[in-house]
Amino acid sequence: MLELHTAGTHNGIRANIALAESGLDYTVRKIDLSAGEQRQADYLEINPAGRIPALVDTEGPGGRIELSQSIAIMIYVAGKSGRLWPSGDAGKVAALQWLMFAATDATPWASVYFHSTQMMPARVEANIEYGKQRLLRWFGEANAQLGKTAYLAGEISLADYALFPVIDQRRALAEEAGLRNLLRWRDEIGARHGVQKGMRESA
């Protein structure tokens, strides 16, 4: 049995969407970050770092496994289900590239922008604008790709599910910048049953 421990962050949502789109049976345990549940002893036994998401598979390779890091969870789920990757080797390589783009470029700058506007004790407008422009740089790269292909890697894949929560939560920025390809893609991905299910479960 697969059990996902998650919350409504970019990382938690993308792992949840991957499971919802995979066709695998799973359960979800919501972690209340504001209440500090990620630091409770039972959760720390699963993920000693005290972060979400975490996946428990009681029927993993060699027995029970406990896995953290949203991208690692997505790749594991793709391997276990035989889904979420494009069909050909070239598509899988492209999906891996855009998966890393979502993890190492777009998501960190989305977090910087969020913290500068919502969490830091003093709002420094120059820093906020800098973070915004960096984030829009990555959005622009995805927008350009989506002007050439329907999905990031040509076929729909876990790369799309990894980037979707970032774009969805910052849709206003994409609209302000006029990133029509990205917005078209966001609406199409967001209309998928599995994506909607994953988002509901994480909310």
Where in the chain do CATH 3.40.30.10 domains reside?
2-84+196-202
For β-strands 54-60 and 63-68, DSSP reports them as: antiparallel
Secondary structure letter of residue 148 according to DSSP: T
- Alpha-carbon gap, residue 157 to 167, rounded angstroms: 16
Dihedral of the alpha carbons of 38, 43, 49, 52, in degrees to the nearest 10 = -60
DSSP SS3 for 26: strand
**Residue ranges of the chain whose pLDDT lies below 70:** 109, 113-124
Amino acid at 85: W
pTM: 0.90
Amino acid at 5: H
Give pLDDT, residue 131: 79
- Among residues 84, 99, 95, 68, the alpha carbon closest in space to that of 23 is found at 84
Give pLDDT, residue 120: 58
Read off the tokens for 138.
């990555």
Give pLDDT, residue 117: 66
| Superfamily the domain 2-84+196-202 falls into | Glutaredoxin (3.40.30.10)
The fold for domain 89-192 equals Glutathione S-transferase Yfyf (Class Pi); Chain A, domain 2 (1.20.1050)
